[in-house]
Chains A and B, each alone.
Chain A
Amino acid sequence: MNIGKSGAILLGFPDTTQDAHLFVEKSPANGAALVIALHHLGFALSEPQADEIRRGKDFIQLKNGPFDLDLVFAPDGLEHFEDSWNRRVEVEGFPVCHIDDIIASKAATNRVKDRESLPRLRSFRDYWLAKHRR
């Protein structure tokens, strides 16, 4: 499920990013499926790296594929994958975290760069909610 600024961009947020972030459910089956999908996309994973993804470490950063990708199994500010999954939004087939979850996660992380982007992201939330009425 897409999260972070790349998730917001899928929802329509006009901004730039340098990488994509996926909030991934931690399970052996999902980890194995993820490795297959990453190979299919062109990520060059060694077997030890694939094993770490299958095991589901909390945070994995990939810069060995067609784009930079962070796999986040335990994002800041979001307790349970299932809760976020139930709130997800589908954008042309892509599952995306609800804008409120994206904002909650960024606010909980509380990095300098998140603080800078949050006011505009909150404005987008108001716009998006008015447009989608959910």
Chain B
Amino acid sequence: MANIETPANLPTDCLEEFEAAARRPLPLRWRYAFIHTYKPVLDDASFRSFDTTEDYRRWCEQNLPDWLGYARV
């Protein structure tokens, strides 16, 4: 366990995961982090651009399946 002052409200399982990640070198962390699964609609174009971020958010809500989680609450 690293010698840091642990935040009192930090769940133990989280702390263990964070400490384990901190011990990994960046290239390994980076390699572990990226996964790719096909996302319907979203992955069906190689390039998209939007004049505003709001336009993008609206496009996601109007075009992507709900289960992808891109809709705003």
Contact = CB atoms under 8 A, between A and B. Distances in A.
Contacts of B9: 126
B47 A58 contact: no
Contacts of B6: 127, 130
Contacts of B37: 18
3 smallest CB-CB distances across A and B, nearest first, come from A113-B69, A14-B21, A64-B46
B10 to A, nearest CB: 6
A123 interface: yes
A131 interface: yes
Chain A binding surface SS class? mixed
Interface of B: 2, 4-7, 9-11, 14-15, 17-18, 20-22, 26, 29-30, 32-37, 39, 43, 45-53, 55-57, 60, 66, 68-73
Given A63-B45, A112-B69, A115-B73, A12 B53 contact: no
